[in-house]
Structure 1
Amino acid sequence: MEVVVLQDRTDIGRIAADAVSALLNRKPDAVLGLATGSSPLSIYDELVSRYEAGELSFRQARGFTLDEYVGLPADHPERYRTVIDAVFASRVDFADGAVQGPDGLAADIPAACAAYENAIRAAGGVDLQILGIGTDGHIGFNEPGSSLASRTRIKTLTRQTRIDNARFFDDDVDAVPTHCLTQGLGTISEARHIVLVATGRGKAEAVHHLVEGPVSAMWPATVLQHHPHVTVLLDDAAARRLQLVDYYRETYRSKPDWQGI
């Protein structure tokens, strides 16, 4: 796991976009794992800027979102498939149908989850997965207590997650759905490269457990300690509880330029 502490969201977006750009340059038909929420927005904005400048194309690429609320109407502005389209997919040149998400309106939820797993597998698996992290250490919607080997499935959201997400629902916790579909921790762990972004003091406790704590289902993101290629991009506030932060800074400063993240 590589930990990179950067100045601000702009630097985080730039470094993550460098990794996506390098991937698309060597593999134009790459498969991207797309997270919603506030953390990845600087990445998407930077990628859009590079697309608009003619520096990269998503024409052959595929995208799979991490999760979806259960029961939100197809035209609801906070439906994650709608959100990812608004903040990223519609702003670049993905082909029609190239970005998929779990079907939160499916009549047969288990079948829909199995179909989503099969679609990711049929696409060749995710080459680069963008992640955020919740204040309780969840990734995707894998709440504390999730199996470290879990696959795409329905989950009940904790009250803390619903409180955290209420800002997207006019600060009305009761408007936040109770259930979601999410890629499992086992599914996420199969991505070839994972780029996790965290900013702000509110994420410092979760980041501490992610990077320096024991692997535990109580902090689901810690499963990433077993992954061979994880990059954690942080600002100073999110890194404030890391005991080895000076070492992480020194390591990143000393990297050869060709290595990337």
Structure 2
Amino acid sequence: MKEFKAGQLTVKVFATRKQMGTQAATDAAATLRYLLTHQETVNVIFAAAPSQQELLEALQKEPGVAWDRINAFHMDEYIGLPSDAPQRFGNFLKAAIFDKVDFRTVNYINDTERYTALLKTHTPDLVFMGIGENGHIAFNDPPVADFNDREVVKTVELDQECRQQQVNDGCFATLPDVPTHAITLTIPTLMKAPYIYCVVPGPRKATAVYNTLQQPIETRFPSTILRTHSGAVLYLDADSSVKTGELCNC
């Protein structure tokens, strides 16, 4: 494992995707145990994507985490898919972790007003996220990303690169099958959490990782905002880190 800093962001690079996910889970579980010794409940936001699979599998095996004191939230969701569609992020998370451990509450994002009120009374403590091929975090694509967004939750139109990624990931057969709109937590909502664990494996994310670490911090590259967060850690594997050599001597 190699570790370096990009601004305030800690970056950890692993040889394999499994090592990356396992270490992210180990680190996050340690933080959860720490938080649970200092507060009665902990609020955690989960991202739904194939990139999160190794993390989620390892996380639920971590010992000593009082899941029954953790409120689970999900980060973003398509608009317009049937409730039982396997592509719905809520259904992904339900199968991957929400049904696997005994959370205090599980909260699905399905409307802006209710979810905004919920998050105002349950301030996020920890966020699990990835980075999209277009640099988005949650569904804050470059055209709609706003580092000073006044909203907690908002409805957005998805850009074509974001929608194409869903096809590339094997979630949809063709681009027309991918919904055009979604509901998402905004960037300030995510960034307010004291701890962010960002897991980004795979060769298709190499350019997005390079942009995250090297481009100016601006909404053309939404994930660059992570470089301003001292509690954020970016986990990479060999494939996603191939363009970071000059930063980490990888």
State the TM bucket, normalised to the shorter chain.
Answer: 0.7 to 0.9
TM-superposed CA distance for 1:27, in Å, is 3.0
| Per-residue Cα deviation, 1:23-79 (whole angstroms, up to 9, x for no partner) | 3323332211100101111111012233xxx54331110111110111222222221
Mapping for residues 117-196 of structure 1, pairs under 5 Å: 117-123=116-122, 125-145=123-143, 146-150=145-149, 151=151, 152-166=153-167, 167-169=170-172, 171-196=173-198
2:16 counterpart letter in structure 1: D
> For residue 259 of structure 1, what is the aligned residue in structure 2?
none
> For residue 94 of structure 1, what is the aligned residue in structure 2?
103
Q: Of 215, 218, 221, which residue of structure 2 is paired with 1:216?
A: 218
TM-superposed CA distance for 1:228, in Å, is 2.2
Question: Unpaired segments of 5 or more residues in structure 2?
Answer: 1-8
Contact residue 239 and residue 245 of structure 1 kept, 8 A: no
> For residue 50 of structure 2, what is the aligned residue in structure 1?
38
TM-superposed CA distance for 1:135, in Å, is 0.8
2:20 counterpart letter in structure 1: I
1:70 counterpart letter in structure 2: I
Q: Percent identity over the alignment? A: 27
Task: State the distance in 1 between where 2:187 and 2:242 align.
Answer: 26
Q: What secondary structure does 1:36 align onto? A: coil
2:78 counterpart letter in structure 1: Y
Contact residue 48 and residue 90 of structure 2 kept, 8 A: no
Q: What secondary structure does 1:232 align onto? A: strand
TM-superposed CA distance for 1:224, in Å, is 1.5
Task: State the distance in 2 between where 1:75 and 1:191 align.
Answer: 30
> For residue 202 of structure 2, what is the aligned residue in structure 1?
200
Mapping for residues 64-79 of structure 1, pairs under 5 Å: 64-79=73-88
Number of residues of Structure 1 aligned to a counterpart in Structure 2:
232
TM-superposed CA distance for 1:187, in Å, is 1.1
Q: What secondary structure does 1:40 align onto? A: helix
Question: Unpaired segments of 5 or more residues in structure 1?
Answer: 104-111, 250-261
| Per-residue Cα deviation, 1:191-249 (whole angstroms, up to 9, x for no partner) | 11111111122111111111122101111111122222110100122111122122xx7
Task: State the distance in 1 between where 2:195 and 2:180 align.
Answer: 30
Contact residue 57 and residue 92 of structure 1 kept, 8 A: no
Contact residue 202 and residue 238 of structure 1 kept, 8 A: yes
> For residue 3 of structure 2, what is the aligned residue in structure 1?
none
* TM-score (normalised: structure 2): 0.87
Q: Root-mean-square deviation (CA), in Å?
A: 1.5
Instruction: Judging by fraction of residues, say which structure has more strand.
Output: 2
Q: What secondary structure does 1:195 align onto? A: strand
> For residue 7 of structure 1, what is the aligned residue in structure 2?
15
2:133 counterpart letter in structure 1: T
